[in-house]
Amino acid sequence: MASILVTGCAGFIGSHLAERLLHDGHRVVGLDNFDPFYDRSRKQQNLALCLAHPRFSFHEADLRQGLDGLVDALPADPIEVVVHLAAKAGVGPSVREPVAYLENNVIGTTHLLEWMRHRQIQKLFFASSSSVYGNTAERPFREDMPLLAACISPYAASKLSGEQLTYTYHHLYGLSVLNARFFTVYGPRQRPDLAIHKFVRLLREEQPIPVYGDGTTARDYTFVLDTVDGIARGVNYLLAHERVYDTINLGNNRPVALLELIQAVGEAVGLPPRLAFQPMQAGDVDVTYADIRKAQHLLGYAPQTTLAQGLREFVRWMDQAEYQH
């Protein structure tokens, strides 16, 4: 089994991934800076199972500290694969704070790549985003589509920049890379600013749910454990291959319209939703729709969770989380 560094390990996807990698027998080195985007106590709770595991070690550090900061913060023991999930996330906030997103997601990623070069670590799984496709007219989105003029938010631009950086390090320094474009991940531990989390909360508070646009915008919702399965398969792929560079979509291959999602959330909660229509938000795309054939071919990736199942799991977790708080 391998020794794997997971950046952003205290977050929504990162904490699930760390648990999965430990379950698979790997040793996991976790790194997180506890960005104050949402409450630190939630992230510490995310890590509870990992911190009790003998093959897990945690290091609090910020990738913006640069090479020296990472050398000081991270252990010198061998690391075979880096899974880079740490980033400032969210399209809307990036429109309001573009510099913070570029500092975290571009400069921070560059520092991590330099640390990997310094440590001679040769395998990287990089978390990108479906937002890089923007409003590309052709659907479903394929990994070989030209994207230079596609990004319509600073977040999207920061993620595409990350992919370009990973290619540069592959070309110059022989880094093996798998870039994965995530498509609207949801499920237990989801960030409180994301739509499904907000919709459940508003329903229970008997508040109307905001509908941006006419409700026909659609997202390729992917349950977190399906995404995590794709990442774990990607780690195994990197371990089994030398000097590779590839990009894959990790989605569900089924867009769900906003009005359909709200109806499904209402059914999962057991309450009828009331709607409040509002203008579209800056930076939002119309549709995300993943072509997942490449991930199926390379990794055997096959999402299993229906939207109804995933929403029930999320509501069950939210009930438990509220009880604990």
Beta-carbon-side half-sphere exposure of residue 30 (alpha carbons within 13 Å): 32
Q: How far apart are CA 220 and CA 255, in angstroms?
A: 4
Give me Rg for the CA atoms of the chain.
19
Q: Is 245 a catalytic residue?
A: no
Catalytic residue among 101, 133, 155, 289: 155
List phi, psi (to 5°) of 33.
-105, 5
The number of CA neighbours under 13 Å toward the Cβ of 175 is 30
The secondary structure of residue 280, as a DSSP letter, is P
8 A C-beta contact, residue 232 and residue 163: no
Number of neighbouring beta carbons within 10 Å of residue 234: 24
| Strand pairing class (256-257; 245-250) | unpaired
Pair of tokens at residue 313: 């799991």
Active site amino acids: 155
